[in-house]
């Protein structure tokens, strides 16, 4: 259901909903990344 110009708040949702989704996904990714074990060090090959 679409409202026609309800004082501008409905247009504000077009900006706030995607921004909120992006921040939510970033928060989720950050929290999951903190739970991962640290990466193992890789062996460096020194050139001759």
How far is the C-alpha of 17 from the C-alpha of 13, rounded, in Å? 6
Give the pLDDT score at 3. 57
Cα separations in angstroms, 32 against 4, 26, 36, 37, 42:
40, 10, 7, 11, 23
pTM here is: 0.60
Question: 1-42, pLDDT tens digit by residue?
Answer: 555 666 777 788 889 999 999 999 999 999 999 999 888 888
Give the pLDDT score at 24. 98
Give the pLDDT score at 43. 76
pLDDT exceeds cutoff 90 at 44: no
Q: What DSSP assignment string belongs to 1-48?
A: ---S-STTHHHHHHHHHHHHHHHHHHHHHHHHHHHSPPPPPPPPPPP-
Give the pLDDT score at 12. 86
């Amino acid at each position: 259901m679409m409202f026609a110009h309800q004082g501008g708040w409905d247009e504000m949702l077009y900006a706030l909903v995607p921004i909120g989704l992006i921040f939510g996904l970033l928060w989720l990714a950050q929290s999951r990344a903190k739970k991962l074990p640290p990466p193992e060090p890789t062996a460096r090959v020194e050139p001759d």
